[in-house]
Structure 1
Amino acid sequence: MSKRTAPEQKPAEDIPVVGRRQPCPCGSGKRYKACHGASGGAAKVKVTRPFEGLAAECELVALREFVPSATARLPLASGSEEIQLATVLPMAAAALVRTDGVAFIGLQVQTKSGDVSRDLARAVEWVRTAEPGESLAVVGPEDAPAGSVPARLQDLLDPDARLDVQVHEDFSWWMPEGVEATGEVAMSLERANSAIMPTQRLETEGVHAAYWVDATDRAHLRWVRPEPEERLISALARLSARGELALGEDSRYAGSFRAHGLLVPVWDLDREKHPDEWAEPAAALGRRLDEALASLDERSLDADERRARDGLRGRQITVR
């Protein structure tokens, strides 16, 4: 499959030139020589929370970071075309159009810039003019249309639309129905299927971007939350101090990790239970968490809750 590219363009942002050792005017906190003053500097500025402002933010983070095989229709704000968002594509492609004309954008890909949202938008623009059978290996600044203002995913999607995520048991959806994979695609498909961890999205009222994952020795619930980190940690600490942070007797709070500006709390679960059995406990926990979040406006944490908060902070890691 061939790669289609557009001529390289200069960054659209008008960043004034300052001394190379002075702070960059873009606000990144870096020296100008290490940011916009460097070759390709605009592409190196890292956006910590690339999906901010989208109702689908939490699902986008989950699909990019830990859901192995899933697809969802992109809720485009305009245009009649249908583009599928995907976790992983063959050979970790950034985008492709299957031979039957179905277009896909890959989330779990290498990127050339510090803004995942902008890279995904470039992949969307590429796939709109791609032909069946074509794929885009890696997306970067050179893939943007010449002379255009670089778009972000927020510019292309309905900001209020959530994703209708379909989790798959394998990667057979890579191929059109009735078509058998061959060559590198077949090898990539075999490797991907052998490495997949059973995953199921919990679908119940009030629960979004929560996934049951079977990690062989134990099962986990990974729940991407939209709240600011400090506020969420305080609410979790309030529940912990009350002994209400678990999903039941067969679970325990394991910790959390940061991904794309959001916090993802994780619970260890009894893997003998069916994933559906955790839906109602998750909904009940969500209600307790909402109550704890609301109570933060009424009173601050007491001594026990502050100790619980310190303990929760000690179990945090950063993924991206």
Structure 2
Amino acid sequence: MAKKTRTRATTAGDNPRRPCPCGSGRRYKACHGAGDDVIVTRPFAGLAAECDLVAMREFLPSATAPLPLRDAGGRTVTLATVLPGASAALVRPDGEILLGMQVQTRSGDLSSDLARALTWGLAAEPGAALPVVGPGLAADPTRLQDVLDADAELDLTLHADFSWWSAEAEPSAEVSATLERANSAIVPTEPITADGVRAAYWVDTGTKAHLRWVRPEPEERLLAALARLHARGELGLGEDTRYAGAFRAHGLLVPVWDVDRDLHPKEWAGPAAAFAARLNAALGADAPLTDAERRARDALSGKQVTLR
């Protein structure tokens, strides 16, 4: 896991020579202190929940998780993939705060956006909704790393639909129609649960089934380990599987495999655990890559795309 981000400073003008709270490693005055909307490529660095946060942002359809805050002031705060109207946050009538991950308009720092949406929720009246969080860190450099228990993972729940949107036992016709439209767009997704496996998900796109696995390692280190496995013919998850490539999202690499769509998602737990053991061994190797492994690394590099 990457080095933890420094805690925030009190004001934007306080010691502009200090490291920027976004974790870029640059001085504040040359980063967010310059007033520009700087892109933070790895917004959740330093958090044990980083991989789950990336999954919720990028490809989980309907999922929720209690947000492990250091101090919620007695309030219940729930992180969600998508909220009604693609809102950044909303407050239920009972005071529960919901924060949305998949919001179209964002600043260059997702961590800051979420922290600011949380601040809004703690002050908002029940029933209020926040459509979007504005750009920039200048007004408030608070980030998720400043308010979250950095060592806590997310206790994710994947839902088959969006019925959790409504707190009503019998929603109105308008709410029911909204739920029906949202439910029709859900791509079936299931978590892969096994020893040594975290943030891996089976996804059925309708024509193919994939296994997507968000990895916490730095890209070069992970790519070298995958290359070692590829050179030995150990990159697959078993019969009728194929390593399809990987995409980069928020500073992490997400390897993807094509898998047999006819098998139940739970049947991939064993193959995923076996692969995790092989990968951990490859990650621990410190010998230089062989010629065959370097060729494998080059081939794998050509199968990567950047989403964010």
Could you report, residue by residue, the CA deviation over 1:259-304 in whole angstroms, capped at 9, with x for unpaired residues?
A: 0000000000001000000011101101100000001x2x111011
1:307 to 295, 298, 305: 295
* CA–CA distance in structure 1, aligned partners of residues 236 and 13 of structure 2: 48
- Match in the other structure for 2:183: 193
1:288 matched to 2:286? The reply is: no
Unaligned runs of 5+ in 1: 1-9, 17-22, 29-34
* CA–CA distance in structure 1, aligned partners of residues 294 and 301 of structure 2: 11
Task: Report sequence identity in percent.
Answer: 60
Is the 2:12–2:139 Cα contact (8 Å) retained in structure 1? no
The 3-state SS of whatever aligns with 1:128 is helix
- Match in the other structure for 2:159: 168
Q: Map of 1:132-211 to 2, 5 A cutoff?
A: 132-140=126-134, 149-183=140-174, 185-211=175-201
The alpha-carbon distance between structure 1 residues 77 and 249, as it changes in their structure 2 partners (threshold 3 A), is: same
Is the 1:234–1:309 Cα contact (8 Å) retained in structure 2? yes
The TM-score with structure 1 as length reference comes to 0.84
1:101 matched to 2:91? The reply is: no
The 3-state SS of whatever aligns with 2:164 is helix
The alpha-carbon distance between structure 1 residues 24 and 125, as it changes in their structure 2 partners (threshold 3 A), is: closer
The 3-state SS of whatever aligns with 2:123 is coil
The 3-state SS of whatever aligns with 2:223 is helix
Is the 2:12–2:33 Cα contact (8 Å) retained in structure 1? no
Could you report, residue by residue, the CA deviation over 1:93-140 in whole angstroms, capped at 9, with x for unpaired residues?
A: 000122343321000013442110000001111111222211100012
* CA–CA distance in structure 1, aligned partners of residues 226 and 83 of structure 2: 36
Q: Map of 1:122-141 to 2, 5 A cutoff?
A: 122-140=116-134
> Matched residue pairs, number?
289
Moved over 4 A (4+): 10-16, 23-28
* CA–CA distance in structure 2, aligned partners of residues 243 and 141 of structure 1: 46
The TM-score with structure 2 as length reference comes to 0.88
- Match in the other structure for 1:6: none
- Match in the other structure for 1:58: 51
Could you report, residue by residue, the CA deviation over 1:162-193 in whole angstroms, capped at 9, with x for unpaired residues?
A: 0010000010100014040453x544422221
Paired amino acid for 2:96: V
Give, in angstroms, the shift of residue 241 of structure 1: 0.7
- Match in the other structure for 2:83: 89
RMSD: 2.3
Is the 1:202–1:279 Cα contact (8 Å) retained in structure 2? yes
Moved more, 126-135 or 231-240: 126-135
The alpha-carbon distance between structure 1 residues 59 and 181, as it changes in their structure 2 partners (threshold 3 A), is: farther
* CA–CA distance in structure 1, aligned partners of residues 28 and 140 of structure 2: 20
Paired amino acid for 1:68: P
